[in-house]
Amino acid sequence: MKTKFKDLTIWITGASSGLGEALSVELAKRGARIILSGRNSEKLEAVKKRCKKSHKHIVVPFDISDADQAKKAYQAAKAQAGKIDWLINNAGISQRSLIIETTEEVERQLMEIDYFAQTRLTRLVLPDMIAQGRGKVVMVSSIAGLLGTQYRGAYGAAKAAIHMWANSLRAELHDQGIEVATVFPGFIQTNVSINALTWDGTAQGTMDDATNKGLTATAFAKHVTKALIKGEEYVIAAGKKEKLAMMVNRLSPPKLYKLIRKSKVK
């Protein structure tokens, strides 16, 4: 069945920049009404202006790691939009620190933002989707959640966890009309490495070379949107290098990790 975007209300977290911004603009271009969420209301308003027919979209700012704010944001989104057809859990934060140097507090922070915050918001939205007999939940994981690399131990663990959680959710709710898709971005040209947490919780503050040479956020959004329209459940949105690593991993995981040990992945 062809997706009628003009009838869809799509809630996107982490919409103030990067992947979330690109997805918001792309999906709005196709006719959907977007609920844009993130912590910075001014940036969200700026993204809203970039979206086609900006007057129809809704800004709901909140801190996704705060359970009370998440509940109030859900109530506000529902009150203003009336319904939520798709939830795209895009908000998150990356990591750039060695496991042996990273504090447990930082690991918990990564898990809280990249796993618990995503599952919490999904549980808030699901009852309405189940009641209306349809809906789509999109979890933005990462290639790092499939292939462990240096400097991303807790981040990769959180992204792997959300991938497995989505698999279980898909199995549990398939018969109730709920679709679940997981997106695995590779290196994308965003501020992800600049904002990535280091061993003590401070931001790295610099752009990784690999990130700088990755896919554009616009190309990512176009690819993901097309895949979601087709009903794909696992969406790899990455460059040739990451796709090659995925292929090697399927054929010989030990060989891949020999290559990873020699590579500069930071």
Point out the residues that are catalytic: 155
Distances (CA, A) of 121 to 19, 72, 107: 19, 11, 20
- Which DSSP letter does residue 201 get? S
Identity of the residue numbered 195: N
Residue (of 21, 36, 27) closest to 8 by Cα position? 27
CB 31 within 8 A of CB 77: no
Backbone angles phi, psi at 131, to 5 degrees: -65, -35
CB 129 within 8 A of CB 146: no
Distance CA 45, CA 109 (A): 27
Distance CA 208, CA 192 (A): 9
- Give the H/E segment covering residue 207: none
- DSSP SS3 for 184: strand
Q: Could you give the angle at the alpha carbon of 237 between the alpha carbons of 231 and 243, nearest 5°?
A: 120
Contacts of 63 (CB under 8 A, 6+ apart): 39, 69
Structural tokens at position 90: 């895009």
- Tally of residues, the chain: 266
